[in-house]
Amino acid sequence: MIQKEINELRRRLTADGSNIQHIYGCYVNGEKEIISTSDMSLATMSKNDVEKYMELLKKSVAGRCGKNLTDLSFSSQQVIDGAEHKLLMDLRTCECKDKTLRTELFRRIISVLEMPDQSNYLILLAYDSYDVPFKGKDNIKQMDNSSEVFRYILCSICPVKSRKGELGYYTGENEFHLGDSIPVVCPPELGFLFPAFDDRKTNIYDVLFYSKNTSVAQRDLIASLFQTEAPLAPGEQKEAFSDVLASSLQADCSFGVLKSVHNTIARRIEEHKESKDPAPLDLSAEEVGGILRDSGVPEEKVTAFKEKCTEQFGEQAALTPENIIEAKKFQVVTPSVKISVVPEFVHMVKEQMVDGKKCLVIPVDGGIEVNGVAVYDPSGRKSASEATEE
């Protein structure tokens, strides 16, 4: 799925926008015991309550593609006779009304899920149907014409945490007292949407998986729900890419090469944003190899990099640029100093030998401040904060 398609679904998740009739819940404690289950009819809820529930469901399709949101694919054989795929399809067909099917889904989640701090959590499950408006060549929706009905299920897994006791007003006593803590449902940590909404059409071969934490892949949960291999989490991708660069380039992994790689990839990210291309930006190992070659890396090291990329990320791997570099941050770390440079001025930082020692040299233009205090400059140049204010 692309961001436009995700945003289109998110916009309808309001009290008045969706066709969701029921939201089903399963409240679980830190010992994997079910505390309670619920079948909540939106028709009997207050509008404020409905909006709160919709906000939780909406946040399970939030974030960026390739970062918080990941497309996972089922194999053709799974679609034909896979138990995991059949469970999701059956839930979709019965509009999540079958209690036995809901219990099976909840069981698959509970059996493997470990929440941070072993906190309690609430699983929310809902079914929705969307009459997808037809879009003409002018890309304008024709609300009276539906291209198809997109039927899908949405699941959110939300931590439940006790709010610390706060002062509350007690009418009978006309005083404020410290009240008991109450369990509060927090925004979802995990979730999924099935089937995928690709090219604004139903794709039963894919599921959109959400994870708030981008540093660790939810391998156990993904295996239990979908029996498919989880891709590296964004944080893992960055670490793996760094390891591949260092181990394959070795002596050629210089400051200048790393600076060039960062600048080139950051520029591609910016160009892609400016182009407003809805498709996500990917880089192949071959493309990154070309960047290394243009940065002066010998051909044998470029080949070594591509081979290690294949070992780490798989054949025909597509690297997500925003997961392997921080485009808006260029940081240099030594055992004693950490330097952060605004990306557009990265070119000013140079590696240079001074008195026989390797040093980083940064030209100073516009004055210097130490802990917010301007260092006296006899030339009369403005301090950094003064220059920024202008």
Please tell me the predicted confidence (pLDDT) of residue 26.
Answer: 96
Sequence-ordered list of residues with C-beta below 8 angstroms from that of 337, at least 6 positions apart, any chain: none
* Cα gap 384→381, rounded to integer Å: 9
Q: pLDDT for 60-75, tens place per residue? A: 999 888 888 999 999 9
The overall pTM is greater than 0.85: no
Please tell me the predicted confidence (pLDDT) of residue 77.
Answer: 95
DSSP 346: G
The fraction of the chain above a pLDDT of 70, given in percent, is: 92
Q: pLDDT for 198-207, tens place per residue? A: 999 999 999 9
DSSP 65: B
Nearest to 79 by CA among 173, 178, 172, 204: 204
CA distances from 74 to 33, 77, 202, 206, 281 (A): 30, 8, 14, 6, 23
Q: Strand 330-333 and strand 338-341: pairing?
A: antiparallel
* Phi, psi angle pair for 181, to nearest 5°: -75, 145
* Cα gap 161→177, rounded to integer Å: 21
Task: Please state the rounded mean pLDDT for residues 37-61.
Answer: 94
* pLDDT of residue 290 exceeding 70: yes
Please tell me the predicted confidence (pLDDT) of residue 313.
Answer: 85
Sequence-ordered list of residues with C-beta below 8 angstroms from that of 282, at least 6 positions apart, any chain: 318, 319, 320, 321
* Structural contact between residues 241 and 321, judged by C-beta atoms closer than 8 angstroms: no
The larger pLDDT score, comparing residue 115 to residue 85, is at 85
Q: Strand 69-73 and strand 34-41: pairing?
A: unpaired
Task: Please state the rounded mean pLDDT for residues 183-197.
Answer: 94
Nearest to 67 by CA among 243, 217, 227: 217
Q: pLDDT for 328-385, tens place per residue? A: 888 888 888 888 887 777 878 888 888 888 888 888 777 788 877 888 777 655 545 5
Q: Which amino acid is at 361?
A: V
* Cα gap 223→45, rounded to integer Å: 35
Strand partners, 184: 161
* pLDDT of residue 166 exceeding 70: no
**Six-digit token pair at 147?**
């291209």
Task: Please state the rounded mean pLDDT for residues 290-309.
Answer: 92
**SS3 of 216, please?**
coil
Please tell me the predicted confidence (pLDDT) of residue 90.
Answer: 97
